[in-house]
Amino acid sequence: MYAASRPYRPAWWLPDPHSATLWGRLGRREPALTMRLERWDTPDGDFLEVARLESPEGAAAPRLLLFHGLEGGMHSHYARAMFREAGQRGWAADLLLFRTCGTETNRLPRSYHSGETTDPLWVVEQISRQFPDAPLGLMGVSLGGNVLCKLLGEYGHVLPEQVVGAVAMSVPFDLARASRHIGRGFGVIYEKFFLKSLIPKALAKIDRHPELAALRRVTGARTLWEFDDAFTAPLHGFRDAADYYARASSLAYLTRIQIPTLLLNAIDDPFLPSEVLDEVRQAVRGNAAVEVEFPARGGHVGFTAGRRPWNPWYYGEWRAAEFLAARMQRFLRTVVV
């Protein structure tokens, strides 16, 4: 068990889960970074976009691959923060933009979802081939964290040897309970925010692929559950939203993780009932590869510390980088030897 060298003390000036969550989007300021956007043709005739930050250390420099959350991308505060953290450490970094989250709609009648792991696996393999001497750390945030945990449970035994560790932050381990929970009380604001972009993107895909006309009922979705029931599930071969959630939730895959992994969630995360984290602890109790860190406060992808609002410190990204850095150094020492 690794003990963080700098303890996390939640910011007193973000006293509740919602202020801790919203600060990242409304109050946090991250400097713009010079990233290069690449388009990669996929084996199924589509494409993916990858935002890249290179390192002056060259091809053998440690690399970070990030999986973003629902409707996330280069604009996400945590993505910019992790790229900054990587750059300060001399690492290179890549951000996989899930299908429909890039600069334009992808070609095929498919999108991304919480359990889709084939694209992430393919990207991991491509990066490992491009940089065979570089240790690779994986990180997933929110939806991307669920994708990462499922990926590790499904394919951990065949991942390239360059993958040395993983961090999953603010993961909705049980998608059904998370979907029901997020729309309660003030949480309806988050739900409406996501639907504001999800529904137009779904309709644009339907317009582009007339064979999807039956999915146009998504127009009436008022909750994430209704959206997934009308669009995500039938588009990707699930019976309904309940079937999709049951098969895509990462909770069932945690016992099979073999690569050193840190799970970082706040107990007060407004996107997930806290009792799910008790089940996560129980699931990984006998898995030495998985470390859990569930502080009482932090919100969703928050983890802000610091005594003053004008001088905050962001524990989440720092902790993730520290965890991965230790594993990367071990890999590099092995290569040198």
pLDDT digits (tens, 9 = 90+) for 119-152: 999 999 999 999 999 999 999 999 999 999 999 9
Q: What angle do CA 35, 172, 191 make, to 5 degrees?
A: 80
Q: What is the pTM of this model?
A: 0.95
pLDDT tens digits for range 307-328: 999 999 999 999 999 999 999 9
pLDDT tens digits for range 152-194: 999 989 999 999 999 999 999 999 999 999 988 888 999 999 9
pLDDT of residue 10: 96
- Give the closest residue to 168 by CA, choosing from 284, 7, 53: 284
pLDDT at 286 over 50: yes
Query: 168: left (phi > 0), else alpha (psi -120 to 50), else beta?
Result: beta
Say if residues 35 and 52 touch (Cβ distance below 8 Å).
Answer: yes
Alpha-carbon span 24 to 330, nearest angstrom: 32
pLDDT of residue 183: 87
Q: What is the mean pLDDT of the chain?
A: 94
Phi, psi of 277 (to 5 degrees): -65, -30
pLDDT at 29 over 90: no
Label each residue of the chain as H, E or C: CCCCCCCCCECCCCCCHHHHHHHHHHCCCCCCCCCEEEEEECCCCCEEEEEEECCCCCCCCCEEEEECCCCCCCCCHHHHHHHHHHHHCCCEEEEEECCCCCCCCCCCCCCCCCCCCHHHHHHHHHHHHHCCCCCEEEEEECHHHHHHHHHHHHHHHHCCCCEEEEEEECCCCCHHHHHHHHCCHHHHHHHHHHHHHHHHHHHHHHHHCHHHHHHHHHHHCCCHHHHHHHHHHHHCCCCCHHHHHHHHCHHHHHHHCCCCEEEECCCCCCCCCCHHHHHHHHHHCCCCCEEEECCCCCCCCCCEECCCCCCCEEHHHHHHHHHHHHHHHHHHHHHHC
Alpha-carbon span 140 to 70, nearest angstrom: 11
pLDDT of residue 3: 52
Question: How large a percentage of the chain has pLDDT more than 90?
Answer: 86
Alpha-carbon span 27 to 155, nearest angstrom: 38
pLDDT of residue 331: 83
pLDDT of residue 32: 74
Contacts with 193 (C-beta within 8 Å, 6 or more apart), sequence order: none
Distances (CA, A) of 163 to 64, 287, 318: 10, 18, 19
pLDDT of residue 242: 98
Q: Is 66 exposed, middle or buried (0-12, 13-18, 19+ CB in 10 A)?
A: buried
pLDDT of residue 335: 59
Domain chopping of the chain, boundaries: 17-174+257-336, 176-248
pLDDT of residue 96: 98
Alpha-carbon span 292 to 290, nearest angstrom: 7
- What is the arithmetic mean of pLDDT over 215-232? 97
pLDDT of residue 25: 83
pLDDT tens digits for range 37-88: 999 999 999 999 999 999 988 889 999 999 999 999 999 999 999 999 999 9
pLDDT of residue 303: 97
pLDDT of residue 101: 96
CATH 3.40.50.1820 fits 17-174+257-336, yes or no: yes
Residues tagged active-site: 142, 269, 300
Question: How large a percentage of the chain has pLDDT more than 70?
Answer: 97
pLDDT of residue 337: 45
pLDDT of residue 4: 60
Distance of CA 173 to the CA centre of its chain: 12
pLDDT at 236 over 70: yes
